[in-house]
Amino acid sequence: MAANHPLATDAPTLVLASGSPYRRALLERLGLPFLQEPASVDERISPGETPAEAVLRLARAKAASVLARHPGAIVIGSDQVAVRGDEILGKPGDAESATQQLTRSAGRQVEFLTGVCILGGPGEPEEHMDITRVVFRTLTPQEIRNYVHRDEPFDCAGSFRAEGLGIALFERIDSQDPTGLVGLPLIWLAQALRRLGLPTL
């Protein structure tokens, strides 16, 4: 929990509907007090659903799941999908799968779609989708093995940690918000929270 920003005593509770330590670290940058609670939702993409539709639906479902346990709170849900061509990339889970993902991504572009939904508080729900395009440089098999061994990106879609050594894998990143790639686009989120009366400065 972050708690270094003064809020009115009657301010609603802010809840991050995620167990991700990366999203927690990002939200802490805004200095607002918040709770963190994982959402219980099926994160599988439905047949015929586009990645863009999926990330917004899942962000909404995560926020709704946690809001049901915290009525009156303001809840932030977020989801991210990585897409390479027509292929959706999941979290690799182990070194072998991470190595295979990076081998196929070398020299290619991968899109990261990050959906965010805020439920609770006054007004209508707020939703946003951030798109970040990552272009991988040409990578040798040894570079890929070295990276996977050092950063162990097994819980990261696309098999890299952009906030870690993974930045060395890229030729360039095209983005309107660099925090979107990590999983929570703070530029939009800070604006949305201000509209809800939660000061970020």
Outline where DSSP puts E strands in the chain: 14-16, 35-36, 74-84, 87-89, 109-119, 126-136, 170-174
User: Active-site residue 10, yes or no?
Assistant: no
Q: Which candidate in 10, 42, 79, 130 is catalytic?
A: 79
d(CA 56, CA 117) in angstroms, rounded, equals 7
d(CA 188, CA 129) in angstroms, rounded, equals 9
Asked if 88 and 160 touch (Cβ cutoff 8 Å), the reply is no
Asked if 58 and 43 touch (Cβ cutoff 8 Å), the reply is yes
- Token readout for 54 is 């999926």
d(CA 130, CA 159) in angstroms, rounded, equals 19
β-pair type (14-16, 109-119): unpaired
Using DSSP, state whether 153 is helix, strand or coil: coil
Using DSSP, state whether 149 is helix, strand or coil: helix
Active site residues: 79
